[in-house]
């Protein structure tokens, strides 16, 4: 048995210190030890006040994620919280670090709450598809009002200690360590020199029932068309906190929590949460240390290069941008400046910090300016010749030990690395546009990339606030391969009888923010056209090829930027309208191929899209391009708009059932063998009674 709390009693103050590294998560052992410590302090006649604090980096940051999806073990957190609330002796909590989820609920049950200035407090349960189930939905609105409580619980976003004080969520922001301040307050209380805030003195927001109900009504209206089950249930619970007697309110919350925890949405969100934590775990990374990076060179000042430079600058690096001439450089630097001005306008950056930051930004038109760079990220035109020439030149300029990265989205990183005398230093860093915003970074590890270079890429991603996913070298890595399969499946449907508008509606209805043809219009149809042209000579002539996209490009329909693509765009408009000319192009293609259009339902569109993505994911796993299924899911969730509450294609395949989806693929393969043939991995898993999730091995 491990003791996860330490208790010391001095002059009537029992200090209970939670010590359950790394983040004092409220696992079963800790819950049990807390209960024991509380009962002992209650029974000890010499104890008059209990101080509850935490050792290490943080106050409990929530439930123990290792217990997610496991059968609950006694005592439950609601029982611990009730015991704190019912304690006849005052309990003062002293928070620091992150008071999140169950951790904040524990504090809400106490009589007095103190926090040090760096504390962040939040209830992120909604992001896991659940609600605060240990009294949070009942206690928080009473303490800070329904409106503010709903804001915190439906967004899941944490707030700083100073804001928590303004809201009345805590009683004081301490100067220095919260634990010492709590002990001083307890001692002063015992000595009769200070009184603790009593429940009677706190504002009871229930007194203003009409405002409370108005906040509930507004929150319900604000939900819009969201199909997530947790937010409406959080609102119901806050309403119950006003309308029901206390105990019934807690029971209502409990029922709602149990209902949510077993929904597929909560399972998918838990999966996404765990996938994020798992992605950085690779044996090679555990054994190596990243290289030191202070100065970064970015080659290219276009949309991607300037986005990457912005992200690096914002993360505190010195950045040098390289462009081919002064004009392009000025334009590139101006893009970075505009991005940072936007951060100032949004209140994310002060004007003074903006100025200091800019002193770390420079630009040049000669590669020699990169002589001192620790990392160079090439974001030039997507063409192998262009990129290999740049890498050959870099080889002669950059200091030994610098990491050389290419931001290619499809090209062969092994060949790019071979253009240098130091392939071990070369890696792919596939950013997503806009790079200062998008969370995903595909780390493409080439055959000869050294492990410390991979470790450096993961450390960089962490500092940039991005999710790094390891990928192997192939055409399109993880994300663009799955995307290509998705588009191929929907292109087949276009020829077979669906319209692009119907397909987009079906996929938006399924949870994507945009349909595949809306995305193509936004990105520009010429990008994928260029790629198809590049691959044309290697294409198997027996493979089904849909030329509708090529036809549209030849008509100058290159997407939003041309005012027309799959949709028609009014001057400057970002959403388009349906265009009969596109339907004519599609109809002509069908006629040319002798295809009789058939009726296609939304359900079929969604099913084929999922089957195509999951099957490509299975191939990617077989080829070891991705280390695990959850990495594929993570790429799709963070880089391609796959709905997080569906967990990603591999998680969805598990949910639908591998046997069922494999049979569906077999049916489709009768129409088109090459594309739809199920990867061998399906059979291997099915035969052994396993799922994709079983390959995620933590």
Of 377, 213, 385, give the one whose Cα is nearest residue 300.
Answer: 377
User: Are 471 and 454 spatial neighbours (Cβ–Cβ below 8 Å)?
Assistant: no
Q: How far is the CB of 125 from ligand CAA (least distance, A)?
A: 5
Interface with ligand CAA, residue 399, by CB under 6 A: no
**Do β-strands 375-378 and 159-160 pair in parallel, antiparallel, or remain unpaired?**
unpaired
How far is the C-alpha of 623 from the C-alpha of 626, rounded, in Å? 8
The tokens 């994911």 sit on which residue?
617
**274 versus 620: smaller Cβ distance to ligand CAA:** 274
Q: How far is the CB of 227 from ligand CAA (least distance, A)?
A: 21
User: Are 646 and 683 spatial neighbours (Cβ–Cβ below 8 Å)?
Assistant: no
The tokens 């494999």 sit on which residue?
662
Cβ of 247: how many Cβ atoms within 10 Å? Answer: 10
Residue closest to ligand CAA, measured at CB: 101
User: Are 613 and 633 spatial neighbours (Cβ–Cβ below 8 Å)?
Assistant: no
Residue 587 DSSP label: H
User: Are 100 and 62 spatial neighbours (Cβ–Cβ below 8 Å)?
Assistant: yes
CA angle 179/181/183 to nearest 5° reads 70
Interface with ligand CAA, residue 64, by CB under 6 A: yes
Cβ of 184: how many Cβ atoms within 10 Å? Answer: 14
Q: How far is the CB of 18 from ligand CAA (least distance, A)?
A: 13
Q: How far is the CB of 54 from ligand CAA (least distance, A)?
A: 12
Interface with ligand CAA, residue 468, by CB under 6 A: no
Q: How far is the CB of 337 from ligand CAA (least distance, A)?
A: 30
Asked if the bond preceding 22 is cis, omega within 30° of 0, the reply is yes
Residue 403: enclosing H or E segment and its boundaries?
strand 403-406
Interface with ligand CAA, residue 100, by CB under 6 A: yes
User: Are 95 and 181 spatial neighbours (Cβ–Cβ below 8 Å)?
Assistant: no
Interface with ligand CAA, residue 124, by CB under 6 A: yes
**60 versus 476: smaller Cβ distance to ligand CAA:** 60
Examine the residue annotation and report whether 125 is marked as an active-site residue of this protein. Answer: yes
Q: How far is the CB of 27 from ligand CAA (least distance, A)?
A: 7
Q: How many residues bind to ligand CAA according to rule CB under 6 A? A: 21
**154 versus 339: smaller Cβ distance to ligand CAA:** 154
Interface with ligand CAA, residue 631, by CB under 6 A: no
The partner residues of 671 in beta bridges, in order of sequence, read none
Stretch that binds ligand CAA, among 58-66, 211-219, 355-363, 613-621 (CB under 6 A): 58-66
Residue from the set 5, 25, 148, 634 that interacts with ligand CAA by CB under 6 A: 25
**460 versus 483: smaller Cβ distance to ligand CAA:** 460
Q: How far is the CB of 618 from ligand CAA (least distance, A)?
A: 28
Interface with ligand CAA, residue 301, by CB under 6 A: no
**93 versus 304: smaller Cβ distance to ligand CAA:** 93
Q: How far is the CB of 477 from ligand CAA (least distance, A)?
A: 25
User: Are 263 and 129 spatial neighbours (Cβ–Cβ below 8 Å)?
Assistant: yes
**264 versus 424: smaller Cβ distance to ligand CAA:** 264
Range 259-298, binding ligand CAA (CB under 6 A): 277
User: Are 270 and 278 spatial neighbours (Cβ–Cβ below 8 Å)?
Assistant: no
User: Are 131 and 233 spatial neighbours (Cβ–Cβ below 8 Å)?
Assistant: yes
Interface with ligand CAA, residue 77, by CB under 6 A: yes
Of 13, 6, 87, give the one whose Cα is nearest residue 54.
Answer: 6
Examine the residue annotation and report whether 684 is marked as an active-site residue of this protein. Answer: no
Supply 560's token pair. 């939003």
Residue 92: enclosing H or E segment and its boundaries?
strand 91-95
Q: How far is the CB of 22 from ligand CAA (least distance, A)?
A: 4
Q: How far is the CB of 161 from ligand CAA (least distance, A)?
A: 15
**11 versus 258: smaller Cβ distance to ligand CAA:** 258
Of 590, 582, 584, give the one whose Cα is nearest residue 501.
Answer: 582
What track of x and - describes contact with ligand CAA for positions 132 through 171 (by CB under 6 A)?
-xx-------------------------------------
Interface with ligand CAA, residue 515, by CB under 6 A: no
How far is the C-alpha of 580 from the C-alpha of 590, rounded, in Å? 15
**110 versus 661: smaller Cβ distance to ligand CAA:** 110
Residue of 105, 253, 265, 616 marked active site? 105
Interface with ligand CAA, residue 65, by CB under 6 A: yes
**273 versus 358: smaller Cβ distance to ligand CAA:** 273
Residue from the set 61, 170, 361, 693 that interacts with ligand CAA by CB under 6 A: 61
215 Cβ contact partners less than 8 Å away, ≥ 6 residues apart: 145, 146, 147, 150, 238
Stretch that binds ligand CAA, among 19-27, 209-217, 296-304, 503-511 (CB under 6 A): 19-27
State the greatest distance between any 2 C-alpha atoms of the chain, in Å, as a whole number: 93
Interface with ligand CAA, residue 101, by CB under 6 A: yes
Residue 678 DSSP label: P
Interface with ligand CAA, residue 574, by CB under 6 A: no
How far is the C-alpha of 270 from the C-alpha of 194, rounded, in Å? 45
Residue from the set 22, 283, 385, 594 that interacts with ligand CAA by CB under 6 A: 22
**119 versus 310: smaller Cβ distance to ligand CAA:** 119
CA angle 467/693/691 to nearest 5° reads 150
Three-state DSSP at 190 gives helix
| Interface residues toward ligand CAA, by CB under 6 A | 22-23, 25, 58, 61-66, 77, 98, 100-102, 124-125, 128, 133-134, 277
Q: Which residues are catalytic?
A: 105, 125
């Amino acid at each position: 048995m491990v003791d996860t709390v330490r208790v010391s009693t001095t002059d009537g103050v029992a200090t209970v210190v939670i010590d359950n590294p790394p983040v004092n998560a409220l696992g079963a052992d800790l819950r049990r030890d807390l209960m024991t410590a509380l009962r002992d302090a209650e029974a000890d006649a010499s104890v008059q006040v209990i101080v509850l604090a935490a050792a290490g980096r943080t106050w409990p940051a929530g439930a123990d994620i290792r217990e997610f999806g496991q059968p609950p073990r006694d005592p439950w957190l609601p029982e611990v919280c009730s015991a704190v609330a019912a304690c006849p002796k005052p309990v003062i909590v002293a928070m620091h670090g992150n008071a999140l989820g169950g951790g904040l609920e524990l504090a809400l049950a106490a009589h007095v709450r103190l926090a040090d200035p760096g504390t962040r407090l939040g209830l992120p349960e909604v992001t896991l598809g659940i609600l605060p189930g240990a009294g949070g939905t009942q206690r928080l609105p009473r303490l800070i009002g329904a409106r503010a409580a709903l804001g915190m619980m439906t967004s899941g976003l944490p707030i700083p200690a100073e804001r928590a004080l303004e809201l009345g969520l805590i009683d004081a922001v301490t100067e220095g360590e919260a634990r010492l301040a709590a002990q001083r307050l307890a001692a002063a209380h015992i000595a009769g020199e200070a009184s603790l805030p009593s429940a009677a003195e706190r504002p009871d927001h229930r007194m203003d029932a009409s405002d409370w109900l108005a906040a509930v009504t507004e929150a319900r209206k604000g939900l819009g068309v969201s199909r997530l089950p947790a937010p409406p249930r959080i609102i119901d619970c806050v309403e119950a906190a006003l309308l029901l007697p206390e105990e019934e309110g807690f029971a209502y919350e409990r029922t709602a929590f149990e209902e949510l925890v077993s929904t597929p949405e909560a399972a998918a969100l838990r999966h996404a949460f765990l996938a994020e934590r798992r992605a950085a775990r690779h044996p090679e990374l555990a054994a190596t240390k990243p290289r030191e990076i202070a100065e970064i060179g970015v080659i290219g000042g276009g949309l991607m290069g300037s986005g990457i430079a912005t992200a690096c600058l914002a993360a505190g690096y010195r950045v040098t941008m390289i462009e081919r001439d002064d004009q392009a450089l000025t334009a590139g630097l101006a893009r970075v400046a505009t991005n940072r001005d936007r951060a100032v306008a949004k209140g994310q950056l002060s004007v003074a910090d903006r100025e200091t930051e800019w002193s770390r930004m420079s630009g040049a038109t000669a590669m020699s300016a990169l002589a001192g760079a620790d990392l160079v990220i090439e974001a030039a035109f997507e063409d192998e010749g262009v990129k290999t020439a740049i890498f050959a030149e870099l080889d002669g300029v950059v200091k030994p030990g610098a990491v050389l990265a290419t931001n290619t989205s499809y090209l062969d990183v092994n060949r790019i690395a071979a253009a240098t005398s130091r392939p071990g230093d070369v890696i792919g860093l596939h950013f997503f546009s806009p790079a200062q915003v998008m969370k995903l970074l595909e780390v493409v590890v080439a055959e000869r990339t050294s492990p410390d270079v991979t470790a450096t890429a993961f450390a960089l991603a962490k500092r940039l606030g991005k999710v790094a996913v390891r990928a192997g070298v192939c055409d399109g890595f993880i994300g663009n391969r799955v995307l290509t399969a998705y588009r191929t499946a929907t292109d087949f449907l276009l020829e077979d009888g669906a319209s692009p508008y119907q397909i987009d509606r079906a996929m938006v209805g399924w949870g994507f923010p945009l349909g595949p043809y809306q995305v193509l219009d936004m990105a520009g149809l010429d990008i994928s056209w260029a790629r198809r042209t590049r691959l044309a000579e290697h294409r198997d002539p027996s493979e089904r090829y849909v030329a509708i996209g090529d036809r549209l490009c030849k008509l100058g329909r290159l997407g939003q930027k041309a005012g027309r693509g799959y949709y028609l765009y009014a001057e400057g408009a970002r959403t388009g309208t349906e265009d009969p000319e596109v339907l004519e192009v599609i109809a002509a293609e069908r006629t040319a191929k002798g295809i009789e259009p058939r009726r296609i339902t939304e359900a079929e569109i969604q099913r084929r899209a999922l089957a195509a993505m999951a099957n490509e994911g299975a191939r990617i796993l077989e080829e070891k391009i991705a280390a695990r299924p959850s990495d594929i899911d993570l790429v799709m969730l963070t880089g391609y708009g796959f709905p997080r509450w569906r967990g990603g294609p591999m998680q969805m395949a598990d949910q639908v059932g591998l046997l069922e989806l494999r049979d569906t693929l077999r049916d489709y393969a009768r129409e088109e063998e090459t594309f739809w043939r199920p990867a061998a991995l399906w059979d291997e898993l099915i035969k052994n009674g396993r799922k994709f999730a079983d390959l995620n091995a933590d």
